Amino acid sequence: MKHLFLIPAFIGLSQSMLAQAPQPVATAAKTATSQGSLTGSVVNATTKQPVEFATVGLLDQATGNMIEGGVCDAKGEFAFSKLADGEYKLTVSFVGFQPQTVEHVKVASGSSQKLAVVALAPTAQQLGEVKVTGERELIESKADRLVYNAEKDQSNTGGTAADVLKKTPMLSLDSDGNPELRGSTSVKVLVNGKPSGMLANNIADALRRMPADRIKSVEVITSPSAKYDAEGAGGVINIILKKGDLSGTTGSVSATVGNMNNSLNSSLTQHKGKLTTTSELGLASYFNRYRSDISRTDVLAPGELGQLSQRTATRNYNQGLTGRLNFDYDLTTKDVLTLGANTELFRYRGTRGMTSTYLAPGLPDDSYRRDIEWPYADNRFPSLDVNAGYTRTGKRPKQEFSVLGLLSTSSGRQAYFLDQFRTEGLDYRETNVNTSRNRELTFQTDYAQPTDSTGLLEMGAKTILRRAGSDYTVQADSLEGRGLTLVPSRSNQFDYQQNVYAGYLSYGFSLHKVYSFKLGTRVEHTSVLGDFATSPDRVRQDYTNVIPNVLASYDFGANKEQKLKASYTRRIQRPDIWLLNPYVNVNNGRSAQSGNPNLRAELADAYELGYSTSHKSSTLTIAASWRQTNNAIQQVFTSVPARTIFPDDTTNASLLYSTFQNVARRSSYGLSVTGSTKPNPKWTLNATLNTFYLSVKSPLLGFSNQGFMYNGNFSSAWTFEHGYSLQASMYVTSRRVLLQGDVSGFQTHTLSVKKELFDKKGSLTLNLENPFSRTLLFRANFAVPDSYNMRSDQYAYNRAVRLSFNYQFGSTDAGSSRPRKAIRNDDQKKGEGGN
């Protein structure tokens, strides 16, 4: 632990350390009195152009110890001086190229040795003017994550990010479209490794708006190291968007038309000299339609029951514009500046028709119809992310210092207008306006220092300053001549501040080329302040958490094609504004929902044991996991008298009220199996199956629930002659266990046909989703003995047809490209049902 207190001083000295890093001694026999030099150059094996910034390492031929390292200059040249007399080997590598090793390089005392040109073969091939990426598996297994290469799955064409996540190993979507990882909603979704304002409001809607054509891959990170934020019980979902890493000018245009979603997207990347500019612009819309039937029995008193029946029909129309602009500038061969911005302008409108009947002893029959409208003008959600960074690489491979900053802002305005009708006509009106705002300012600095040829020490510090607020008002008109008047009990203003200060230390190393270890500790201090404008209530929280992690792996087999890994980590998940917001939503008249500003962060311990292997064209990954959360945040339903929400109510009617509380102990024991194979070069099969046993217990409330759950996705793709290909896929999930009930499972299936056009520069894809079923049924059951029993059947119209066109243009010379550093904020818990 004492090492953590050295982090600020260490980072403050890192700039000078990078510039003056001492060089290790080769061997005792190689004295400094006999010195030589070594020079050379690196070129692209295909274009014969210099490869800027290629990483060059010089190792002792006998021991394999690192002697010196560096990067090539703008001409692809490198030079090592003051070398001891001896025999070395040279390693050359760069992103997008196959690494090369030059063995037995002899350097004599006082001589100047010049190597033959080293040619790196690109991992991408050229075909006319379009880039064809080298063969890559649809699903890749790495030490701490699984990667789903979404761009290789043609059934995603023209779809949305929600479609992509349904096909990602270990992931599932609940009935509202919120992502789950191994049954846990405690996940954070990132875009290009960073939090995004476009996901800050309603993550389910954001995933439906994001076009799948923009997504390159999805990373499911189950064993994050100390370098990551302590992101929660489930893990991190990182959506990697496509970007241009080629020299010259490249771009693409894509369009999709369909009955559920439409989109038009364009991108352009220009590389000129030291500056690379990337711009994107997209338009998207989607249509959502569903109906539901609710039946609820309330226990009003011993022997007295209230019966509620409701039927609703809802339509939502969503429109959005997204834009991205990014600049990468190489100050020198070792220094790079990055500046970028992402924005989204999104709005929606919707209508809902609802009929409700409530029957109870001693009360008059209460039947009415409600027409609710969410107009475009009053429901909009703009967001903006601005990021900047500076990265300096050292002389040795993996030696790096970076300073990063991110400003993420979003705002929202939600409003509805409600008219209520009874037999005699219109008898009640209500309007609601809820404005929200989020601002997140992040500063982060990281330093990485190799200790030998396999060891890497990493340390850093991070500060996240969050500001959020909600201002909500409800006005009602009982048609008694007073007009719309404010309802104080349902109106308030809530301001929320959360500051997180963190530092981490991590060390990874290998032994005997088969054992790998990574150990680390992260310390995070959190300060929370919540304030209500119209009441003296305040929320204050201060707590410090120590987050350890351990990851070990073992490679074995004739060609090291098999891997065993084991990991442990502790995670923290803080509630976000949507779980904390105390605004009470009662627009259906017989139920109410709100957040809870007194929620505390939940802590989880996660253990994982995994095995992976590959043989020729087949891969297999098996992972067993156990996650334990002792103060889990759960949505809790209670039956309350209507007067607790409506002070003027004088009846004995009941409302079903739900909010979030730290009341449960959640245990999950899971097994995941992911595999892929190619029976022949034209046929590919992929499958993922996740099974887990979930136990949720609340000693405080006296509730518990448990059961087995599963989800899986399966796909089969076939490539034909003349540019045609066919793919079929299916996604299936079982019922979902909740503290006070469960939600039924469902399945979807997709069929897609693709035709390549214009010498593979373009393509046309037809997708059919659920062609054999018009709707998906989501059945939920909730019950509390001697209080209430409820059943809800929701039918979502999900039969979709879409036709997509894509065209790529530009040059394909593999130019210089560096991995760009990015901020990851992944520590907040999202609400179930999009709350």
Q: What is the pLDDT of residue 125?
A: 39
Return the amino acid letter for 381: F
Q: Pull the structure tokens for residue 664.
A: 């449960």
Query: Phi-psi region for residue 481, left (φ > 0), alpha (ψ -120 to 50) or beta?
Result: left
Give yes or no for residue 806 having a pLDDT over 70.
yes
Helix (H) or strand (E) holding 639: strand 618-641
Residue 820 · residue 339 · CB < 8 Å: no
Q: Pull the structure tokens for residue 796.
A: 């979502």
DSSP string for 550-563:
EEEEEEESTTS-EE
Q: Could you report the per-residue pLDDT of 507-540, keeping only the tens digit for each?
A: 999 998 889 999 999 999 999 888 877 767 778 8
Which domains does the chain carry?
37-122 (2.60.40.1120), 139-719+738-747+757-763+770-834 (2.40.170)
Cα–Cα distance measured from residue 716 to residue 92, given in angstroms and rounded to the nearest whole number: 38
Average pLDDT over residues 644-664: 80
Q: What is the pLDDT of residue 812?
A: 45
Q: What is the pLDDT of residue 208?
A: 63
Cα–Cα distance measured from residue 615 to residue 610, given in angstroms and rounded to the nearest whole number: 17
Say which residue the tokens 């220092």 belong to: 449
Instruction: Reduce the DSSP state of residue 489 to 3 states and report it.
Output: helix
Give yes or no for residue 1 having a pLDDT over 80.
no
CB atoms within 10 A of CB 346: 23
**Dihedral pair phi/psi, residue 377, rounded to 5°:** -65, -25
In SS3 terms, 706-727 reads as EEEEEEEEEEEEEECHHHEEEE
**Dihedral pair phi/psi, residue 530, rounded to 5°:** -120, 140
Q: Could you report the per-residue pLDDT of 283-301, keeping only the tens digit for each?
A: 999 888 999 999 999 888 8
Cα–Cα distance measured from residue 552 to residue 554, given in angstroms and rounded to the nearest whole number: 7
More confident residue, 692 or 273: 692
Give yes or no for residue 639 having a pLDDT over 50.
yes
Say which residue the tokens 């080329």 belong to: 513
Instruction: Write the CB contacts of 57 (distance below 8 Å, at least 6 apart in sequence).
Output: 66, 68, 69, 90, 91, 92, 396, 397
Residue 562 · residue 217 · CB < 8 Å: no
Residue 800 · residue 287 · CB < 8 Å: no
Q: Could you report the per-residue pLDDT of 161-173, keeping only the tens digit for each?
A: 777 776 677 676 6
- In the chain, pLDDT over 90 holds for what percent of residues? 31
Cα–Cα distance measured from residue 450 to residue 458, given in angstroms and rounded to the nearest whole number: 9
Cα–Cα distance measured from residue 337 to residue 276, given in angstroms and rounded to the nearest whole number: 11
The DSSP letter of residue 194 is B
pLDDT, mean over the chain: 81
Q: What is the pLDDT of residue 354?
A: 95
Q: What is the pLDDT of residue 82?
A: 80
Q: Could you report the per-residue pLDDT of 730-753, keeping only the tens digit for each?
A: 989 999 999 999 999 989 899 999
